[in-house]
Amino acid sequence: MRWEYVIAFVVALFVTYALTPLVSKLAVRVGAVDRPDARRIHHGVIPRLGGVAIFIGFIISSVAVNIHSLSSLAGLLIGSLVLVAVGIWDDVCQIGPKTKLVGQIVAALILVVFGDRIDYISLPGGHMVYLEYLAIPLTVFWIVGFTNIVNLIDGLDGLAAGISLIACVAIFVVLAQMGLVELACVTLALAGAACGFLRYNFNPAKIFMGDTGSMLLGYTMASISVIGAVKTAATVALVVPVIVLGLPILDTLFAIVRRKINGRPVFKPDKGHVHHRLLAIGLSQKSAVLLMYAMTAFLGCIAVVVVKLNSWLAGAIVVAAVLCVFVWIAMRIGVIAKDQVVDKKQILGKQK
């Protein structure tokens, strides 16, 4: 184990852990709070600016550990700063989804401007597919997609932070095996920041990360995968986050289909997500979150293992695992065709 890895994780963890209570007080002062309503299932007024603490912990750790190689990470760090600014704006002033989308696209384009984009994809058998003029739009779509995937799963106490922590650990293992030390350190810095914040965000949450945190987590993981693909000319850097975040990716796809079927705008929230369904079938918030942690860890283990296997065998294992998750979601809790009404009083009763 390299000392850089330990330092990256520990510094981010302690900085975020120490700053979160201060950020919580700041959020209350500026009015960045969540109040209970028909869609939200928490009770009481909860500060929602926790992503600021995550960002500060992440950025301090990333800069401290990679001080001699910051130029190679400039696009990621500047892009994350822009996205955090958009997130803070939303958490304080509640901007619309289109404005947030523009901010996400700008942050993604910053990474592209610094030379990090998906120019080609390697296929089994050594074949290469060059994207040419599609490289920039596909890179932007990739980053914006992951940014919103993590944003959409931030619906229960500790869910987005915990899943991101597990995903970062799996991504780190693969990056370390590939010899990408700088990116591995950045990934561990993000994991440490998520872990430090989780102490205050796990049920019952004292603070929410808000869009500032959820968008930062998704954006950073997506950017790390793009930079990893650029540095190694290997598609594996792109494949790993897709596998380990398979559950929220499927949940997002189901949400799009469900909202189209129900005639609802794609960006309009509903109560049909996997975590809402788990609550509806009788699980407490903690049980639902822990179950989703376990499923993410399962997919993370698969992601770490399959990168060492033959491409066709790895593909078969991944398809089988995703199908298992898909069937379980579709048959056990059903998240596609209809909205689910969640009994808020029942959930709050279980929390007590």
pLDDT of residue 259: 75
Number of Cβ atoms within 10 Å of the Cβ of 178: 17
Distance CA 343, CA 330 (A): 21
Beta carbons of 292 and 247 less than 8 angstroms apart:
yes
pLDDT of residue 330: 63
Number of Cβ atoms within 10 Å of the Cβ of 123: 11
**Gap between the terminal Cα atoms of the chain:** 42
Q: Are strands 127-130 and 120-123 parallel, antiparallel or unpaired?
A: antiparallel
Distance CA 186, CA 248 (A): 22
pLDDT of residue 10: 96
Sequential pLDDT tens for the chain (352 residues): 588 899 999 999 999 999 999 999 999 999 888 876 555 555 668 998 999 999 999 999 999 988 777 788 899 999 999 999 999 999 998 888 889 999 999 999 999 999 898 888 876 666 778 888 889 999 999 999 999 999 888 888 899 999 999 999 999 999 998 888 899 999 999 999 999 999 999 988 999 999 999 999 999 999 999 998 877 766 777 888 888 988 888 888 877 887 777 777 766 766 777 877 788 777 888 888 998 999 899 889 888 888 776 666 766 777 777 777 767 666 655 555 454 444 444 444 444 4
Strands (E), 82-138: 120-123, 127-130
CA atoms within 13 A on the CB side of 104: 30
Distance CA 311, CA 317 (A): 10
Distance CA 57, CA 20 (A): 10
Sequence spans of domains, the chain: 3-351
Whether the bond into 204 is cis, omega within 30 of 0 = yes
pLDDT of residue 103: 95
pLDDT of residue 37: 58
Distance CA 147, CA 225 (A): 13
